């Protein structure tokens, strides 16, 4: 498989070292998202390792994780091409911006629906010892009808060789206290980021905000945040508070969350809403 097998339809986005395109596979007319990543100053072995890592991600078969279909090298092996499932509903950050512009809030059931699906997606990653490391609303993609949430942009994820990781990455507003302190971190760091995203969906703002990095660092280390709007239940606030514990060991795992009475009740509702489709 190569670039010649696809027709480029439109550009979806662009970053410092990559670009994402909506493409159509010529053989069957199926649409995908194709990400081109520039591989600068990498040895042949490092390039092959990149390919192998994406192939590991392609082994994840879970409805709440963007499906990775194929990966190949192009243009004299300087461009890594990743063919992924195309989610036609944009991302949650875009939806948050729309709601903010229209002075609207999400319905509580919408927040729970996204929260449960994000937990299910993270569970699948963590089960394979994959730490996302850049979990944020802009990396949670939506189906065309906006009802299914899918975790994407796993390129900064790493298959954990040990239980802890030391490499700092991610977006400051969602980064856990231990990441801010340059301390080793594990899957519980993703749980903190999950709490930030759920809070952001409910309030249209991240829980910790400041004018500069130093101020943001202090707020994250303090760990205090305002309650979500009064129309939301104490149950939803409790879920967010569980995830945003300053001490990583006090945060629940995805399995803990899915067994919690708050989530068990919502999980059955989500599964019913999606025609009892098996997410687990």
Q: Where are the alpha helices (DSSP H) in the chain?
A: 44-57, 92-101, 108-127, 177-180, 187-203, 213-222, 234-243, 254-259, 261-273
Bridge partners, residue 91, by sequence: 141
> Any catalytic annotation for residue 134?
yes
CA gap 73, 125 in Å, rounded: 25
Cβ–Cβ < 8 Å for 73, 170: no
Angle subtended by helix axes 261-273 and 234-243, to nearest 10 = 110
Strand partners, 102: none
Active-site position among 91, 134, 153, 186: 134
Tokens coding 57: 């991600």
d(CA 37, CA 224): 38
CA angle 92, 54, 76 (to 5 degrees): 115
76 C-beta neighbours (distance < 10 Å), count = 6
Q: What amino acid positions are annotated as catalytic residues? A: 134
């Amino acid at each position: 498989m190569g670039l010649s097998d696809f027709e480029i339809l439109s550009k979806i986005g662009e970053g410092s070292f990559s670009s994402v395109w909506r493409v159509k596979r010529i053989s069957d007319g199926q649409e995908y998202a194709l990400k081109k990543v520039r591989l600068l100053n990498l040895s042949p072995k490092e390039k092959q390792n990149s390919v192998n890592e994406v192939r590991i991600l392609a082994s994840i078969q879970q409805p709440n994780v963007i499906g990775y279909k194929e990966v190949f090298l192009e243009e004299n092996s300087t461009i890594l091409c990743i063919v992924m499932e195309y989610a036609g509903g944009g991302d949650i950050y875009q939806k948050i911006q729309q709601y903010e512009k229209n002075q609207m809030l999400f319905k509580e059931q919408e927040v729970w629906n996204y929260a449960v699906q994000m937990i299910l997606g993270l569970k699948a990653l963590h089960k394979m010892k994959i730490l996302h490391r850049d979990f944020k609303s802009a990396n949670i993609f939506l189906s065309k009808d906006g009802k299914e949430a899918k975790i994407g942009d796993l390129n900064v994820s790493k298959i954990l060789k040990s239980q802890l990781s030391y490499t700092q990455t991610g977006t400051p507003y969602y980064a856990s206290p231990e990441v801010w302190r340059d301390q080793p971190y594990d899957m519980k760091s993703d749980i903190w980021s999950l709490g930030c995203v759920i809070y952001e969906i409910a309030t249209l703002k991240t829980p910790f905000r400041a004018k500069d990095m130093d101020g943001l660092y202090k707020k994250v280390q303090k760990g205090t945040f305002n309650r979500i709007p009064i129309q939301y239940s104490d149950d939803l606030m409790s879920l967010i508070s569980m995830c945003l514990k300053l001490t990583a060991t006090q945060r629940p795992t995805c399995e803990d969350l899915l067994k919690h009475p708050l989530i068990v009740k919502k999980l059955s509702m989500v599964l019913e809403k999606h025609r009892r489709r098996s997410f687990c």
